């Protein structure tokens, strides 16, 4: 089963009655994971939550960036390297005998990362315990300096406000900007639900509450935010909660059309005395709202009377108005080949392409109009 993660988290929070929602309410899910932070806005359609008729729809196109908890971990390791010397850390990391020490060191850091909770980074001070194996690799003069900074404590690194700024601020600032931009695209949003592994960070929770609750946008975080996606995924397998979504990508297929006057003919192909060029035939644009279970169908024709098959490249891209498949940013999701039966009467032959928009995926079907039972299928998961 595949479930769209922010959606699953929203479902979980609704079923836990974490939010007091009524029809017409608009809320945002901030799914702060290890790698990415994904934001999705929803509008509640059902007048009564908790029954089998519960429905909500996306209220705006979602957004996201690679600014999750693992990037803070990378900043932390870079800070440790700087304090202990790159050579000491490299030797510590390189030695297989110390792999367990590294694991426990980073596990201890994860606890610190989650539990630090001053209202402002500028107030933070904390001592970070170092593994004995790493401490022994640090040059003695550096050890003396570190002990002085930590008030005589050995095997400790003092985390100062400027250090904390280096480790936390870049990602926290990015997340704050993401939420601000998403709120601008979602008029009427009054609630934020914070979920995902990085949502356990007290610093992140404090940041969002301090920044947005003064603007009357309430921030909620479940007791176990990392579990929300899995709990919602289980419920999604039983009921369908979402009635529509906004496309993150533009989707379509490659196709041929007659070359227009003044267009570059260097890549055009000649068919029956006429030049044709390849273009991106769009089925749905990025940021367009699509109802769940809707189908968009386009009709295509073989280029020649004796063509035995047609081939479709299934395409996607982030921008709304792609012109040709060779544009920068256009991705080939897959290929579908449709055998075309010959028509002894000489009638024009047609192939149909259906884009079917499900709850968690897009299904693309291509088939000869005369043999609709012989459909060729490609599945695309929502970005």
Q: What is the pLDDT of residues 57-113, one digit of tens each?
A: 889 888 999 999 999 999 999 999 999 999 999 999 888 888 889 999 999 999 888
Q: Are 203 and 326 in contact (CB under 8 A)?
A: no
Which alpha helices (DSSP H) does the chain contain, by range?
A: 5-15, 69-84, 86-94, 99-115, 132-137, 140-149, 161-184, 202-212, 228-236
Q: Are strands 361-368 and 376-381 parallel, antiparallel or unpaired?
A: antiparallel
Separation of alpha carbons 258 and 276, rounded Å: 4
pLDDT for 244: 86
pLDDT for 37: 93
Separation of alpha carbons 283 and 353, rounded Å: 10
pLDDT for 260: 78
Considering the entire predicted model, what is its pTM?
A: 0.77
Residue ranges in the chain whose pLDDT is less than 50: 1, 49-50, 238
Helices (runs of H) and strands (runs of E) counted in the chain:
9, 18
| Backbone angle region of 292, left / alpha / beta, with phi > 0 → left and psi within -120 to 50 → alpha | beta
Q: Are strands 26-32 and 189-195 parallel, antiparallel or unpaired?
A: parallel
Residue 249's Cβ-count burial label (10 Å; 0-12, 13-18, 19+) is: buried
The values of phi and psi at residue 351, to 5°, are -120, 140
Copy the structure tokens of residue 200.
Answer: 């356990």
pLDDT for 238: 43
DSSP H/E element including 191: strand 189-195
Length of the chain: 383
pLDDT for 3: 56
Copy the structure tokens of residue 131.
Answer: 């593994």
Separation of alpha carbons 378 and 253, rounded Å: 12
Separation of alpha carbons 326 and 347, rounded Å: 33
Separation of alpha carbons 69 and 37, rounded Å: 9
Q: Are 366 and 338 in contact (CB under 8 A)?
A: yes
* Upper half-sphere CA count for residue 381 (Cβ side, 13 Å): 6
Separation of alpha carbons 99 and 264, rounded Å: 59
Helix or strand or coil: residue 304? Answer: coil
- Give every CB contact of residue 97 below 8 A, 6+ residues apart in sequence: 133
Separation of alpha carbons 41 and 26, rounded Å: 7
Separation of alpha carbons 90 and 98, rounded Å: 11
Separation of alpha carbons 76 and 80, rounded Å: 6
Separation of alpha carbons 366 and 41, rounded Å: 33
Helix or strand or coil: residue 139? Answer: coil
């Amino acid at each position: 089963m595949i479930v769209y993660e922010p959606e699953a988290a929203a479902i979980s929070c609704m079923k836990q009655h974490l939010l007091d929602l009524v029809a017409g309410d608009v809320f945002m899910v901030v799914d702060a994971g290890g790698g990415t932070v994904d934001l999705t806005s929803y509008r509640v359609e059902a007048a009564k939550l908790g029954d089998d008729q519960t429905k909500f729809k996306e209220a705006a196109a979602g957004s996201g960036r690679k600014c999750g908890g693992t990037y803070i971990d990378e900043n932390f390791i870079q800070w440790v390297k700087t304090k202990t010397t790159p050579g000491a850390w490299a030797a510590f990391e390189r030695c297989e005998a110390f792999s367990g020490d590294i694991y426990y060191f980073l596990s201890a850091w994860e606890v610190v990362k989650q539990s630090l909770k001053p209202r402002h980074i500028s107030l933070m001070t904390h001592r970070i315990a170092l593994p004995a194996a790493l401490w022994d690799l640090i040059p003695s003069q550096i050890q003396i300096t570190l002990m002085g900074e930590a008030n005589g404590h050995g095997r400790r690194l003092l985390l100062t406000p400027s250090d904390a700024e280096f480790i936390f601020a870049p990602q926290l600032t990015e997340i704050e900007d993401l939420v601000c931009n998403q709120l601008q695209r979602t008029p009427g949003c009054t609630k934020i639900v914070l979920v995902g592994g990085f949502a356990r960070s007290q610093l992140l929770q404090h940041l969002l509450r301090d920044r947005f609750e003064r603007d009357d946008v309430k921030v909620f975080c479940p007791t176990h935010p990392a579990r929300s996606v899995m709990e919602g995924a289980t419920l999604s397998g039983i009921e369908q909660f979402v009635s529509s979504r906004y496309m993150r990508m533009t989707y379509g297929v490659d196709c041929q059309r007659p070359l227009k006057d003044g267009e570059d003919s260097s890549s055009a192909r000649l068919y029956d005395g006429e030049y044709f060029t390849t273009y991106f035939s769009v089925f749905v644009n990025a940021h367009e709202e699509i109802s769940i279970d809707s189908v968009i169908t386009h009709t295509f024709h073989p280029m020649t009377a004796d063509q035995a098959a047609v081939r479709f490249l299934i395409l996607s891209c982030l921008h709304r108005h792609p012109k040709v498949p060779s544009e920068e940013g256009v991705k080939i999701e897959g290929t579908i080949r449709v055998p075309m039966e010959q028509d002894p009467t000489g009638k024009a032959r047609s192939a149909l392409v259906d884009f079917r928009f499900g709850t968690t995926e897009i299904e693309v079907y291509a088939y000869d109009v005369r043999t609709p039972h012989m459909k060729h299928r490609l599945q695309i998961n929502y970005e």
